[in-house]
Structure 1
Amino acid sequence: MGAGPAAMAGEAPIDDERKAHLRHLVKQDCGSCHGLTMRGGLGPPITPEALAQRDRETMVYTVLYGRPGTPMPPWSSILTEQEARWIVDLLYEGDL
């Protein structure tokens, strides 16, 4: 992931401490709606199988800006685009 667009734009890589915090955020905050195993709850499942037909860029946008008219909140006030992209990659890979 270090050679992605954010890294090429001069943005510092996400350090291990921040990655641990982001994993916790996904499990606690995302898990509160999408289920602790990400298999769905109030929100839809966000497992690799459920995301297989979804565009990653759309998912990054959804993480950052939410989905108006739904309970999905925007996270852009606490996440950078690089962090949102890293989270989406984890979800697609099932690496939580």
Structure 2
Amino acid sequence: MRYCWLLIGLLSPCAFAEQPNPQRQQELLNMLKHDCGSCHGLPPKGGLGSSLMPEALADKSDALLADAIQNGRAGTAMPPWKNFLTVDETAWLIQQLRKR
């Protein structure tokens, strides 16, 4: 895995992070649909969780999104996913969300 250091000192996934293999990509898309979709909606326009549509994410950095996915969000229903997703997988999911 490769990482970039941001000026604010956070470890952030780089654009050149390793891509998951095709089987894992399918598993991640399934997770995005079913696990994330249970709170963020189908399509992910919001629900209990905020919208994950590209326009809603446009003003959010990859580092902010990666931190929210990996570590959850205190005071909200967003759990940490770091036990289930690598940093590279998280970066890949963020790129998929930005394309939808």
TM-score (norm 1): 0.85
> Secondary structure of 1:49's match?
helix
Identity of aligned residues (%): 41
Alpha-carbon offset, residue 19 of structure 1: 0.2
Relative to its length, the structure with more helix (as a share) is: 1
Task: Supply the distance in 1 between the matched residues of 2:75 and 2:24 (Cα, whole angstroms).
Answer: 30
Corresponding residue to 1:57 among 46, 59, 63: 63
Moved over 6 A (4+): none
Relative contact order, CA 8 A, sep 6+: which one is greater?
2
Name the residue aligned to 1:81. 87
Count residues in correspondence.
Answer: 86
The amino acid across from 1:40 in the alignment is G
1:1-96 superposed matches below 5 A: 4=16, 6-7=17-18, 13-94=19-100
Unaligned segments of structure 2, at least 5 residues:
1-14
CA distance in 2, matches of 1:65, 1:92: 20
Root mean square deviation of aligned Cα: 1.1
User: Unpaired segments of 5 or more residues in structure 1?
Assistant: 8-12
CA distance in 1, matches of 2:44, 2:80: 18
Q: Deviations over 1:11-63 (max 9, x none)?
A: xx411000000000000000000001000000110100111111111101111
Higher strand fraction (1 or 2): 2
Q: Distance in 1 between matches of 2:47 and 2:62?
A: 21
Aligned match of 2:8? none
